[in-house]
Amino acid sequence: MKKFLQKSILLFLTVLLLFGTGNAFYYNLSKDSPLVAFEVYKALDISAQSGGYTSLLLGDSVARQLFHPDEQEQDPSLCYLATSQAILPAGNYILLKNFLQNHPNTKTVYYMARPDNLQANVNFRYTYSYFITPFYREAYRDCLDTQTQDAVEHVFGRLFCEQDFAKWMLGRYPKLLEWYNHGLEKAWPLKSRLPDGSMPDLAIPYIVKMQQLCASQNVEFVLLASPLPKDADTASLKSLEEKLQAAGIGFLFDRFASSLLYLDPSQFIDGVHLTQTWLNGNKESFRQNLLYPQPTVSVSALKR
């Protein structure tokens, strides 16, 4: 029995060594190719390129449906950088800061999202893949305040926030990320590894930072709403208004509320994303009416 256990342990260690060595070799060959959050890396690349854009649109995945980067040529003055809700306002703040550094002629910045996405909490799996992996690196870490850095390192572990190979492994093997989260919670529960027992707020404080950054450069900052189904819960809308008011940027809510478009639930694939049929028939007019409203035209006039 003892020999059997020894052989089993040796076999396990050998397989583990081969697995680690093989992945380390493959990592050195492909480390510059993202395994997750492809649209986020593309947005970072675009934001770092100088150009003649005078306006910028950031946002969630619904905004990306309406202003997809593949259709960028339709408006050479507006840069389409909508990605995913999972990068949170903190990730959009980094994109904004990067963009403004390389586009000094920017006059207007639009941030378009559902009301719940503008105040979303950290989600271990998606925040790690879409925020920690692309954004939590030396080039962008200074965009985050010290409190945020300390909090996310307590949530995800400093090694897994900073070490590129660890990020690559968890991106390549999503099951490892799941096991890591489960094991970390068992060994060191979240409530005991955070000073106040709650997830870091990467939402409203970073909308405040976006507004302040734009104001400091004489750039208009506008919050816009992604379309919602008519039966959507209004609690998140009321909560957003209250949080913006409490943060001292309540004036942003008026334009957000006026841009709201409620559609029949049948126009949504999953209650969130728009059907291709609606997009084909309404996307162009929606974009024009939303960004360049005329006195006699309203987004509410669109097909419902």
For residue 187, name the pLDDT band (cuts at 50, 70, 90): low
Q: Which comes out higher in pLDDT, residue 260 or 174?
A: 260
pTM of the entire predicted model: 0.84
pLDDT of residue 41: 92
Mean pLDDT of 40-49: 94
pLDDT at 29: 47
The mean pLDDT of 75-97, rounded to a whole number, is 95
What mean pLDDT is reported for the chain? Answer: 84
**pLDDT at residue 177 tops 50:** yes
pLDDT at residue 166 in the model: 79
pLDDT of residue 154: 83
- Higher pLDDT among residues 111 and 191, named by residue: 111
pLDDT score for 140: 93
The domain defined by 38-120+203-301 carries CATH number 1.10.1040.10: no
pLDDT, position 88: 94
Categorize the per-residue pLDDT at 174 as very low, low, confident or very high, splitting at 50, 70 and 90. confident
pLDDT value at residue 176: 78
User: Which H, E and C letters describe the chain, residue by residue?
Assistant: CHHHHHHHHHHHHHHHHHHHHHHHHHHHHHCCCCCCCHHHHHHHHHHCCCCCCCEEEEECHHHHHHCCHHHHHHCCCEEECCCCHHHHHHHHHHHHHHHHHHCCCCCEEEEEECCCHHHCCCCHHHHHHHHHHHHCCHHHHCCCCHHHHHHHHHHHCHHHHHCHHHHHHHHHCHHHHHHHHHHHHHHCCHHHHCCCCCCCCCCHHHHHHHHHHHHHCCCEEEEEECCEECCCCCHHHHHHHHHHHHCCCCHHHHHHHHCCCEECHHHECCCCCECHHHHHHHHHHHHHHHHCCCCCCCHHHCCC
Residue 273 confidence class, pLDDT cut points 50, 70, 90: very high
- pLDDT top residue among 217 and 121: 217
pLDDT tens-digit profile of 1-11?
555 444 445 44
